[in-house]
C-alpha cells in the first residue's frame, strides 16, 4: 500500500472501514496519536512569538520540536505496523506439508509475531513521550488555547491503551515465556505512566481554564 499519509482523509477512513486488514488497530491508533501530538504542537505554535510568553518561549520551542518529531516517528511506525502484519500473513501462508516445512514456518511465524508485538510497544512509548511534552506545556502554553493541550493528553492516553491491544492479541501465540513476561511488564508500566501524565496535565489545564 502507498504511503497512507499521502492519501485523502476520506480515503483513509474508507480503507480503514473496509475488509482490508491494514490499516488495523495498531496503525489507526498511531494515526490518531498523530492528532494528539498535533494538538500539543498547535498550542506551542500559538505561544511562540507572543510577547506575553517571551520568558517561556525557549522551552516552548523545545516542546514544539519534540511534538513535530513525535508526529514523524508515529508516521514511520504506522508503516512498520502495516508491514509487520503483512510479514505475519506471509509467514502464516508458508507451506507446512513436511516436518521441515512446519519447523521453518514456526520459526518465521514466531519472529513475525515478536516483531508485530514490538511495534505497538514502540507506538505506546512514543505516545507516552508525547504525553510528557503535553505535561510540560500545560503550565506554559497560551491560555487561550490551553484546552487543546488537554485534548492532546486525552487522545495520547487513549492511544496507549488502544495500541497495546495489538500486543495483547499476539502474545498468546508467542512461545517465548521471557519475551511475553517482558512485554506484559512494559505494557502495564506504559499504561500507568500514560494515566498519570494525562491526569497531571488535565489538572493544570483545568486550573488554567477556570
Question: Residue 54: pLDDT above 70?
Answer: yes
* Confidence check: pLDDT of 1 > 70: no
pLDDT of residue 51: 95
pLDDT score of 2 more than 70: no
Q: How much is the pTM?
A: 0.95
Rg (CA), the chain: 20
For 102-108, what is the mean pLDDT?
94
**Cα–Cα nearest to 31, from 89, 80, 65:** 80
Q: Which residue has the higher pLDDT, 1 or 106?
A: 106
Does the pLDDT of residue 75 top 50, yes or no? yes
Does the structure show a pLDDT above 50 at 126? Answer: yes
pLDDT of residue 173: 95
**pLDDT at 191 > cutoff 60:** yes
* Over residues 135-160, mean pLDDT: 98
**Model confidence at 3, in pLDDT bands (50, 70, 90)?**
confident
Mean of pLDDT over the chain: 96
Q: Which residues of 2-28 are buried (b: 16+ CB within 10 A; e: fewer)?
A: eebeeeeeeebeeebeeeeebbebbbb
Q: How far is CA 65 from CA 16, 59, 72, 184, in A?
A: 30, 10, 11, 31
In percent, the amount of the chain with pLDDT more than 70 equals: 99
Average pLDDT of the residues in 159-173: 96
Distance CA 176, CA 144 (A): 51
pLDDT above 50 for 202: yes
What is the set of domains in the chain, with CATH numbers?
21-209 (1.20.120.680)
Amino acid at each position: 500500500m502507498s504511503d497512507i499519509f499521502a492519501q485523502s482523509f476520506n480515503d483513509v477512513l474508507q480503507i480503514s472501514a473496509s475488509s482490508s486488514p491494514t490499516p488495523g488497530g495498531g496503525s489507526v491508533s498511531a494515526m490518531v496519536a498523530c492528532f494528539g501530538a498535533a494538538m500539543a504542537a498547535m498550542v506551542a505554535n500559538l505561544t511562540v512569538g507572543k510577547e506575553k510568553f517571551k520568558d517561556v518561549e525557549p522551552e516552548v520551542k523545545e516542546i514544539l520540536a519534540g511534538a513535530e518529531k513525535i508526529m514523524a516517528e508515529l508516521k514511520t511506525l504506522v508503516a512498520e505496523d502495516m508491514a509487520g502484519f503483512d510479514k505475519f500473513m506471509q509467514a502464516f501462508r508458508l507451506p507446512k506439508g513436511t516436518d521441515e516445512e512446519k519447523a521453518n514456518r514456526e520459526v518465521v511465524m514466531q519472529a513475525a509475531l515478536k516483531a508485530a508485538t514490538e511495534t505497538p510497544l514502540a507506538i505506546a512509548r512514543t505516545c507516552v513521550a508525547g504525553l510528557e511534552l503535553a505535561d510540560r506545556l500545560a503550565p506554559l502554553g497560551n491560555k487561550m488555547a490551553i484546552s487543546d493541550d488537554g485534548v492532546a493528553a486525552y487522545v495520547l492516553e487513549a492511544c496507549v491503551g488502544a495500541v497495546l491491544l495489538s500486543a495483547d492479541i499476539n502474545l498468546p501465540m508467542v512461545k517465548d515465556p521471557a519475551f511475553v513476561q517482558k512485554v506484559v511488564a512494559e505494557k502495564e508500566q506504559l499504561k500507568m505512566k500514560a494515566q498519570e501524565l494525562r491526569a497531571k496535565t488535565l489538572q493544570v489545564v483545568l486550573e488554567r481554564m477556570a
